[in-house]
């Protein structure tokens, strides 16, 4: 991993973060943020745009924002609330199952360790690390497609999957260096370095980005 370059580019972007109007940032004011609503939002967000996830979360948490309330709902009602998130039928079933599990095994409180989170069916390493960071303030990094794509584009890592990127970043970065990386690069990927069309002309790290060698934005590979 080219850690020095990564940290230098991250430092520059951190100064720009407040300016970006990224969908991911709107979650913070959309509904009450608790470990439980954060966990359910993560489930809703799989293969779904942030804008759609956000509205689905608002509708769902308006009628149930605790696992105890959620398990009283019929699956069809949850489906109706969260439609049109991707796989909404399966997600409604997962939400019920996860909520039931938390009520039965953790007294309605979302567990705060990776080991316990991974015991919950439907929660994988990416989801667990988002929950640990967003809900409990742990210094960790969750790797989604934005992080994986951008860090490869920067040639800071050379990996073929988000899973591999996660391993490389966990091994190569200190907890302090991991903290906030997901939030920063997801917002950057939603506003400037978009997968469909990178806005290199407005990019604060353009001079350091190896992808600018390609210059024509349409030639920038999407990973
Ligand atoms: S210069 Fe372009 S490709 Fe490189 S990080 Fe910025 S927006 Fe992305």
Mean pLDDT within 147-156: 96
Nearest alpha-carbon partner for 135 in 33, 7, 8, 31: 33
Shortest-distance atom of ligand 1 to CA 198: 7
What pLDDT, on the 0 to 100 scale, is given for residue 213? 60
Structural domain spans, the chain: 3-19+140-219, 31-136
Structural class in CATH, domain 3-19+140-219: mainly alpha
pLDDT of 207 higher than 80 = yes
Structural class in CATH, domain 31-136: mainly alpha
Closest residue CA from atom 1 of ligand 1: 206
What pLDDT, on the 0 to 100 scale, is given for residue 34? 94
Give pLDDT tens digits for 74-123: 999 999 999 999 999 999 999 999 999 999 999 999 999 999 999 999 89
Closest residue CA from atom 2 of ligand 1: 200
Q: Could you give the percent of the chain with pLDDT greater than 90?
A: 83
The angle that helices 35-45 and 88-106 make with each other, rounded to 10 degrees, is 150
Instruction: Report how far ligand 1's centroid is from the alpha carbon of 208 (Å).
Output: 9
- Reported pTM: 0.85
Instruction: Report how far ligand 1's centroid is from the alpha carbon of 198 (Å).
Output: 6
CA geometry: angle 65, 67, 73, nearest 5 deg: 80
- Give the torsion sign (CA, 112, 115, 117, 119): negative
Pocket of ligand 1 (CB under 6 A): 153, 192-193, 198-200, 203, 205-206, 209, 211-212, 220
Fold equal for 3-19+140-219 and 31-136: no
What pLDDT, on the 0 to 100 scale, is given for residue 133? 92
Instruction: Report how far ligand 1's centroid is from the alpha carbon of 21 (Å).
Output: 17
Nearest alpha-carbon partner for 185 in 112, 133, 113, 107: 133
What's the mean per-residue pLDDT of the chain? 92
Mean pLDDT within 7-13: 98
Give pLDDT tens digits for 23-78: 888 877 778 889 999 999 999 999 898 889 999 999 999 999 999 999 999 999 99
Instruction: Report how far ligand 1's centroid is from the alpha carbon of 215 (Å).
Output: 10
What pLDDT, on the 0 to 100 scale, is given for residue 214? 57
Q: Which tops the pLDDT comparison, 179 or 223?
A: 179
pLDDT of 221 higher than 60 = no
């Amino acid at each position: 991993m080219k850690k020095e370059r990564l940290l230098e580019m991250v430092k520059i972007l951190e100064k720009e973060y407040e300016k970006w109007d990224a969908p991911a940032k709107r979650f913070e004011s959309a509904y009450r943020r608790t470990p439980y609503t954060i966990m359910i939002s993560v489930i809703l967000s799989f293969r779904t745009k942030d804008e759609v996830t956000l509205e689905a979360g608002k509708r769902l948490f308006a009628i149930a924002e605790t696992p105890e309330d959620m398990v009283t709902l019929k699956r069809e009602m949850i489906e109706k609330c969260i439609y049109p998130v991707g796989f909404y039928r399966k997600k409604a079933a997962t939400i019920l199952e996860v909520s039931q599990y938390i009520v039965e095994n953790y007294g309605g409180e979302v567990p705060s360790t990776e080991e316990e989170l991974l015991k919950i069916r439907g929660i994988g390493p990416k989801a667990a690390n988002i929950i640990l960071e967003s809900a409990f303030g742990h210094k960790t990094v969750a790797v989604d497609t934005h992080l994986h794509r951008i860090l490869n584009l920067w040639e800071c890592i050379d990996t073929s999957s988000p899973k591999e990127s996660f391993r490389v970043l966990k091994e190569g970065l200190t907890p302090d260096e991991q903290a906030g990386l997901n939030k920063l690069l997801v917002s950057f990927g939603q506003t400037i370095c978009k997968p469909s069309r990178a806005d290199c002309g407005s990019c604060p790290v353009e001079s350091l980005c190896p992808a600018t060698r390609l210059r024509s934005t349409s030639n920038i590979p999407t990973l």
